[in-house]
Chain A
């Protein structure tokens, strides 16, 4: 057994650290994330453009499509270092979700049309999967696309659409045929958000923020050339896409950074009960980190870890949530106050620790992580079926 990374991998890590600390990571964005200030749309664009300029946007793409062609280990290091460095999570919808579907199943014209803009972050993508009646049971989706000449006419609605208010394009799963088996008859279509008939309505979440939306489609006319792959094969592409979404799901770097912050705060409080909880959490983080390394080692040494990676989703999100809970505990009585997701106005700040507002916001916001990306209960179904064979 050898737990050490190779010299090349360590050099790679240092290159990323250098970029993060020596001006690659835009300082106005870093300043905000370091201080828990919410990012604007332009901040997000600036950050992604900087990553793109460094040539790292296609982090999980093969070289032939302009990606980095990184190994699983490099990808792991990249993700961990970005988390440790306090970067906002890279938006997955374009680069990590729709792009692999396009370069794997799309035609050459689609590849030429969409991939360069994704690599340069010229287009902001969002994901049209969930519907009001189709969450975990995604294949029951009802949004319809009917072919008329060289167009599809789409009617229906999508929900929980993250940052649709910023998006230029959406990839949607639609029903092109009503079939006995619900997984058949689903197609994967790319839609310009400026198309007439699309309406985006905000959904305000319990933290008071506007992150997700309802997207309504009323007689939306989409050119047939925007269909990816074959009609009726959308479910296959959707499943393929979810496999790519696994990248960085354990969020180990981000959690390690938050843990460090938490330890600093708690060390000042003279609160042994809370200290014990923090220590227990630190041990859980170590267990998760090693579990991810074990899966990585299996991948790099010819193995095919499958459903085991659901452990990363379950434990990773439990740890992210526990972290936010402990920040709130550390705030003590001051956890009473919550000014909303964008903090207190600078001229009207109450007394009390300055991490409070951000902690409540994070606590409320992070409830989502055990729900999205296949809820943790769905992950347990997956392990039960594919690992335990029940």
Chain B
């Protein structure tokens, strides 16, 4: 047994850390949030040059074939620095489905994703689905016409293609659609953590047989695995956020003086920070367990990702709320980074099943 990262993994971690420190401070992030596209083209190109966009793709698809451990490393560092580039939607969600599918055109699209020239968004959610992504109302008719509305499409505004989950007869199907096809309309909205998501409607959009990526049980499996991997990624991101929350709070309370002393002298605050540290470490433990299960593609991998995500929902919000509380008024100031961790934690809990949902999933898979 050895739960240490390999040398290669440590190098990757340091590389990402270095990028976050030198190229992506909080002010830079705020510029990105305020910009029209909600991502930075230069940063995205840099991601491509570093190979980060190709990282999780299989070697046959032109990637590095890195697994969930490396992805978790990347997302944990993203979480620490609150990086908001749209890695999750294009590379993880859409990328994972394409990579594992037998879709004939996948190589050229994956190449475009890896080079940074194309964003592809997965349209998996609908307003009525309550985290059950396998029974969409969006329908592909027998004459290949797609009708329906997908909700909360991450990075939808920048996507030139959508992978859409829909029903074809009684089967689930995944189809790929150009964003500029006739009958596709995209309306975008801001998210609480400074990104955008879109509502995407399809009205009699004609889908060629070649554009049906997968259907039936294969489609179910592709979708389930991609969502599971993405859930692992955002949980790793949350662990990064939680680490930053306690480290930044310790730093702040040591420098903030009241009653003629640093407020870190007060035991009630010390114990609160210890609670934040403990929650963060316990989540890190569940993260390691989950990433190893996903890495070995075990039958239990969904269960362990559910254990992780359910704990992240609770511990993540706890840590971020305590960080805000211990920063006092500064904690609720928009110009300070600390409050933005809380907003990130809200989005992470809401995505792909909140804490209660995953407690149930864990219990059901027992």
Which residues of A does B touch, CB under 8 Å? 1-6, 73, 275-276, 279-280, 282-284, 286-288, 290-291, 293-294, 296-298, 300-301, 308, 311, 314-315, 377, 380-381, 383-384, 387-390
**Contact residues of A: prevailing secondary structure:** helix
Residue B131 is within 8 A (CB to CB) of chain A in the complex = no
Q: A311-B281, A388-B277, A390-B250 are in contact. Are A290 and B288 (CB under 8 A)?
A: yes
In whole angstroms, what is the CA distance A276 to B356 when docked? 9
> Are B1 and A384 in contact, with the CB atoms below 8 A?
no
Q: Which of A276, A283, A387 contacts B286 (CB 8 A)?
A: A283
> Are B4 and A1 in contact, with the CB atoms below 8 A?
yes
> Are A279 and B2 in contact, with the CB atoms below 8 A?
no
Please name all residues of chain A whose beta carbon is closer than 8 Å to the beta carbon of B267 when the two chains form the complex. Answer: 381
Q: Which of A4, A279, A381, A384 contacts B362 (CB 8 A)?
A: A279
In whole angstroms, what is the CA distance A89 to B350 when docked? 43
Q: A1-B69, A294-B285, A296-B1 are in contact. List 9 more A-B contacts (CB 8 A).
A: A1-B295, A3-B1, A279-B362, A279-B366, A283-B286, A287-B307, A290-B289, A294-B284, A301-B2
> Are B362 and A1 in contact, with the CB atoms below 8 A?
no
> Are A388 and B1 in contact, with the CB atoms below 8 A?
no
Please name all residues of chain B whose beta carbon is closer than 8 Å to the beta carbon of A377 when the two chains form the complex. Answer: 271
Q: A384-B273, A390-B264 are in contact. Are A291 and B285 (CB under 8 A)?
A: yes
Residue B319 is within 8 A (CB to CB) of chain A in the complex = no
With CB as the reference atom, state the residue of chain A lying closest to B364: A279
In whole angstroms, what is the CA distance A59 to B282 when docked? 28
Q: Which of B3, B253, B278, B286 contacts A286 (CB 8 A)?
A: B286
A-B contact pairs, 23 of them (CB 8 A): A3-B289, A276-B363, A279-B360, A280-B359, A282-B362, A283-B311, A283-B362, A286-B286, A287-B283, A287-B286, A291-B285, A297-B4, A301-B2, A311-B281, A314-B278, A380-B271, A384-B270, A387-B277, A388-B250, A388-B273, A388-B274, A390-B253, A390-B264
In whole angstroms, what is the CA distance A390 to B254 when docked? 7
With CB as the reference atom, state the residue of chain A lying closest to B249: A388
Q: A1-B288, A390-B253 are in contact. Are A293 and B274 (CB under 8 A)?
A: no
Please name all residues of chain A whose beta carbon is closer than 8 Å to the beta carbon of B311 when the two chains form the complex. Answer: 283-284, 287
Please name all residues of chain A whose beta carbon is closer than 8 Å to the beta carbon of B360 when the two chains form the complex. Answer: 276, 279
In whole angstroms, what is the CA distance A1 to B292 when docked? 8
Nearest CB of A to B184, in Å: 41
With CB as the reference atom, state the residue of chain B lying closest to A294: B3
> Are B359 and A276 in contact, with the CB atoms below 8 A?
yes
Counting contact residues on chain B (CB < 8 A from A), the size range is: 35 or more
Please name all residues of chain A whose beta carbon is closer than 8 Å to the beta carbon of B273 when the two chains form the complex. Answer: 384, 388, 390
Q: A301-B4, A380-B271, A390-B253 are in contact. Are A3 and B282 (CB under 8 A)?
A: no
In whole angstroms, what is the CA distance A293 to B3 when docked? 8
Please name all residues of chain A whose beta carbon is closer than 8 Å to the beta carbon of B362 when the two chains form the complex. Answer: 279, 282-283
Q: Which of B5, B283, B288, B307 contacts A294 (CB 8 A)?
A: B288
In whole angstroms, what is the CA distance A3 to B69 when docked? 13
In whole angstroms, what is the CA distance A301 to B1 when docked? 9
Nearest CB of B to A351, in Å: 30
Nearest CB of B to A285, in Å: 10
> Are B281 and A2 in contact, with the CB atoms below 8 A?
no
In whole angstroms, what is the CA distance A387 to B295 when docked? 31
Nearest CB of A to B356, in Å: 8
